[in-house]
Amino acid sequence: MEPSLAPRGDRGGASIGVFSNRIEREQLVPGDHIYSWRSAYSYAHHGIYVGDGMVIHYTGAAGQEIGTGTFENQIFSVSSSPWRDSTPVCERCGGDRRRQNGVITSCLDCFLAGFNLCLFHYSVSPAFFIAQVRGGTCTLAVSDPPEVILHRAQYLLSNNGFGTYSLFNNNCEDFAMYCKTGLLVDTSSSGTTGSGQISSLAAAMTVVASYPLGFLATGGVGLVMAGAMYSITRYLSDISIRWDVIKIPVETLVAQLRMGNPGAAS
């Protein structure tokens, strides 16, 4: 039995542990923020379950990266796209393959692409958040009601309205968290995403840059200090803690993007 620290105010009905957020399909409810790990657990793709076996999510399509064009984006856009050139057309959601980037909808099978289904948790305690170690699985932020979440997701789908995909500034996790909370990081002032995955990577890089490898290799005090710094950096990067986060109505966000003045969005 895996250890667990029950999050505060999170949706019931799904088991949750420190090492796994896996969930069965039968446990899903509309408005859930779901994800699945890709490429040997190096990256997770996120989306919003909208019911009837369908998911709305945000992607940079494989083979046609539309973000900054960086090497990292090209790698992870392949992992986030549910379709490949050789993928047979899905009878249920294949019609939406006409739109292969931005905000799209697909069935749960295509979204998962053969990987495990996991549930992203909200309103977790600081202890649970830190115990997760790996980012991109939970947040201290509070989720809005399901009807609000679904409205945001459907509105962004109808208008393909989440801006330009960027792994480091505007990715699938940012999209799902926005649908759940209405919160976005003002990247015009900070230049960094609210994504837990990217925050974990940044925290790890900060630790390596701050401590000589020889000091870390000595074990004991060095490892404890490095672990504490990593945890604190991750905690302070959570979207519920950051100072550069704003709550913006979805209609306002889409209107600003259309005018070329995205504000909080990239």
Q: Are 173 and 46 in contact (CB under 8 A)?
A: yes
Active-site residue among 93, 118, 138, 172?
Answer: 172
57 carries an active-site annotation = yes
Alpha carbon distance 242, 244 (integer Å): 6
Alpha carbon distance 8, 122 (integer Å): 8
Active-site residue among 57, 93, 121, 138?
Answer: 57
Alpha carbon distance 56, 51 (integer Å): 10
Active-site residue among 33, 45, 46, 121?
Answer: 45
151 carries an active-site annotation = no
Q: Are 52 and 129 in contact (CB under 8 A)?
A: no
172 carries an active-site annotation = yes
**Which DSSP letter does residue 176 get?**
H
Residues 6+ apart with CB under 8 A from 177: 33, 46, 139, 141, 183, 194, 195, 239
Starting at the earlier edge strand, list the strands of the sheet with 33-38.
102-107, 54-59, 43-51, 33-38, 118-119
Task: Tell me the sheet residues that pair with 54.
Answer: 51, 107
Nearest residue to 264 via CA among 180, 163, 181: 163
Residues 6+ apart with CB under 8 A from 3: 17, 18, 19
DSSP-based helix, strand, coil % in the chain, nearest 5: 40, 15, 45
Q: Kindly list the catalytic residues.
A: 45, 57, 172
